[in-house]
Amino acid sequence: MIRHSIKRGNPLTWVLDLIGETCLRAGFSSLKTLFILFSLLNMGVAYTQDFDERREQMVASQIKDRGIYSRSVLRAMRMVPRHEFVPTHLRKLAYEDRPLPIGHSQTISQPYIVAYMSEALKVEPGDKILEIGTGSGYQAAVLAQMGLEVFSIEIIPELAAQARENLLRTGYLKVNVRCGDGYEGWPEEAPFDAIILTAAPEAIPPKLIEQLKPGGIMVLPVGPVHRLQYLKRIEKKEEGYTQSTLLPVRFVPMVKPPRP
Ligand code: SAH
């Protein structure tokens, strides 16, 4: 039976189901139909294995060899299928050492930067984290794979919808995505153990500092639009905070929504 309405789970299963039924209806014998399905399944497995191998290589050469040692970060980078978070026509580039466009003039960060920022957060499984700039949902998936409770805000509605779809399809069902302005944070869920920004504000947003727990860490790029920015690590204290500069980086700007 074809389950047209059930599109969750492995998309391969329902596609094969559909092709099988179509072949039978077209008058192919059961044996021929089985053969067609088996060949298609084999092609699918080879396609997925190819990505798995490339992901392993990516982690070895771009992440581990460059000094990322956190076991949970390395494990998450090995587990999350990055190719599922980029536009279909760019999938073959998903494991390259570079950021990639995801539409609406936005980008998914270079894998090394995702790993570096995830490690700099110094989080533990079970911690509650706020991400600003959901984009494709990839960074959120990496954080969820590390065992964190993830809340993520995206300002562009189409990207928020796409990220939700990507996260559902890859099984990261517990990530909470909200479409809204990241400068406001997510006050109903505050305080957070950690906050990560994947778009660069010109200055550290004060409301985000407020929503961080004492002892909590915020990792963010800060700097002028499309000019040199620095990745910073903020540690909130009982009073005020300390900050250190980690790396020169280039991120898309964190935009201010138009005033009503
Ligand atoms: N973390 C993403 C990459 C994000 S790119 C990933 O893994 O794919 C930065 C994102 O920040 C963009 O999608 C952009 O639309 C979003 N953004 C920019 N300004 C924002 C704001 N004020 N609030 C929330 N999201 C914002």
CA–CA dist 72, 63 (Å, integer): 13
- Position 111 scores a pLDDT of 98
Enter the pTM of the model. Answer: 0.85
What is the Å distance from ligand 1's center to 31 Cα?
A: 50
251 Cα: distance to centroid of ligand 1 (angstroms): 10
Nearest-CA residue for ligand 1 atom 14 is: 133
* Ramachandran quadrant class, 106 (left: phi over 0; alpha: psi -120 to 50; beta: rest): beta
Report which secondary-structure segment, H or E, holds 244: strand 241-249
Q: Which of 105, 129, 132, 229 to mutate to test the pocket of ligand 1 (most atoms within 8 A of CB)?
A: 132
Q: How far is the CA of 108 from the centre of ligand 1 (A)?
A: 9
Of 70, 105, 109, 118, which is the active-site residue?
Answer: 109
C-beta of 196 in contact with ligand 1 (< 6 A): no
Give me the pLDDT at residue 36, please.
Answer: 76
Known active-site residue 244: no
**Cα diameter, the chain:** 75
Q: Which atom of ligand 1 is nearest to the CA of 136?
A: 8
Q: One-letter amino acid identity for 248?
A: P
Could you tell me the two tokens for 233?
């690590």
Backbone phi, then psi, for 75, in 5-degree steps?
-65, -45
| 3-state secondary structure string across 223-240 | CCCCCCEEEEEEEECCCC
Ligand 1 centroid to Cα of residue 254, in Å, is 7
Distances (CA, A) of 126 to 87, 129, 136, 197, 255: 31, 9, 23, 20, 30
pLDDT tens for each residue of the chain, 260 residues long: 334 444 445 666 777 788 778 878 888 888 888 877 777 776 766 667 799 999 999 999 999 999 999 999 999 999 999 999 999 999 999 999 999 999 999 999 999 999 999 999 999 999 999 999 999 999 999 999 999 999 999 999 999 999 999 999 999 999 999 999 999 999 999 999 999 999 999 999 999 999 999 999 999 999 998 788 999 999 999 999 999 999 999 999 999 987 77
